Amino acid sequence: MTQAIALIGYGAIGRAVHRLLLTHGAGQAEVVAVLARDRARLLEQSPEVESLLVDSHAELVARRPVLVVECAGHQAVDDHAVATFKAGTDLLLVSVGALAEAAREQSLVAAARAAGRRLILPSGAICGIDWLAAARTAGLARVTYRSRKPPQAWAGSAAEQQVDLASLTTATTFFRGSAREAALMYPRNANVAATVALATLGFDRTQVELMADPGAEGNVHEIEAEGEGGSMATRLVGRPDPDNPRTSVMTAHSVVRCILNQTATVLL
């Protein structure tokens, strides 16, 4: 049975998810609706999606998707997440950092529970989430996540008030703090920090370091964790998405894997 999928947002991630589903999801998942902010610009860039475009969330859910995939940022979460649950549909949240705001997280979880629906979080650009989540039940003592990206990936963020990104010649750490602080201060860059926190010690106990590195060849993600189940140290160099250097190419692939897992016979 083919899943009907709706996309909220059609930027770098939404567009990549759609294309990957066309290639890898035949017979398993099909995009039936796309809700995007700038319809005219989207049609100019991707005229092939015209038949999928809708003008409102009500029109989107009227196409009866079994899963809505949010990939449009925190405002889209506020505008559409609760309504998605009330419409009887599961929600896959790409903007995981939105859950760093406690009131928003509580509202979404309560709405999903009341509707008997699920809030699904992909692992995104990071590796090791299964081990980390399992280690939480074994007992975790410490988790630190470090993000090292080229300076241009931090353009337009609060990092510009901390360092002169354009003149950096060496790797510079501009933030140390909790995952909650990181996700709230850097909402367009810290989805991975939020994912690690939710899998492990929570937003307030998971530590985060953010770095701008002119020598970085990609988006570098490092995790260190210690607990009763053992210790873990990972370093992943993700290739930045050519359309959005803040995110990694693998983010869309992770979302597609999550979508296809919803109906998989063998689930990994």
Average pLDDT of the segment spanning 193-218 = 96
Rounded CA separation 190/145 (Å):
10
pLDDT at residue 222 is higher than 90 = yes
Helical H segments across 64-119, by residue range: 74-86, 102-115
Residue 96, CA distances (Å) to 82, 99, 108, 191, 266 in order:
15, 6, 12, 5, 26
Residues catalogued as catalytic: 221
What's the full length of the chain, in residues?
A: 268
234 within 8 A of 127, measured Cβ to Cβ:
yes
Rounded CA separation 66/18 (Å):
16
Buried b (16+ CB within 10 A) or exposed e, 25-36: beebbbbbbbbb
Residue 214's pLDDT band (boundaries 50, 70, 90)? Answer: very high
Average pLDDT of the segment spanning 38-43 = 86
> Which amino acid, one-letter code, is at 83?
A
Rounded CA separation 143/196 (Å):
9
pLDDT at residue 115 is higher than 90 = yes
pLDDT at residue 247 is higher than 90 = no
Mean pLDDT for the chain overall: 95
**Mapped to the 3 state alphabet, what secondary structure does 166-187 carry?**
HHCCCCEEEEEEEHHHHHHHCC
CATH 3.30.360.10 maps onto the chain at 129-247
Taking only the tens place, the pLDDT of each residue in 72-106 is 999 999 999 999 999 999 999 999 999 999 999 99
pLDDT of residue 221: 95
What's phi and psi for 39, nearest 5 deg? -60, -45
232 burial level (CB within 10 Å; 0-12, 13-18, 19+): middle
153 within 8 A of 189, measured Cβ to Cβ:
yes
Taking only the tens place, the pLDDT of each residue in 47-59 is 889 999 999 999 9
pLDDT of residue 149: 93
Token pair in block for residue 221: 């993600």
Q: Work out whether strand 119-120 and strand 90-93 pair parallel, antiparallel, or are unpaired.
A: parallel
Token pair in block for residue 218: 């990609």
CATH 3.40.50.720 maps onto the chain at 3-121
| pTM of the predicted protein model | 0.93
Rounded CA separation 86/90 (Å):
10
Query: Span 3-121: which CATH code?
Result: 3.40.50.720
pLDDT of residue 38: 86
Taking only the tens place, the pLDDT of each residue in 6-16 is 999 999 999 99
Taking only the tens place, the pLDDT of each residue in 120-165 is 999 998 999 999 999 999 999 999 999 999 999 999 999 999 999 9
The fold adopted by the segment(s) 129-247 is: Dihydrodipicolinate Reductase; domain 2 (3.30.360)
Q: Work out whether strand 230-238 and strand 240-241 pair parallel, antiparallel, or are unpaired.
A: unpaired
pLDDT at residue 44 is higher than 90 = no
Average pLDDT of the segment spanning 198-227 = 96
Average pLDDT of the segment spanning 178-182 = 97
Taking only the tens place, the pLDDT of each residue in 18-34 is 999 999 998 999 999 99
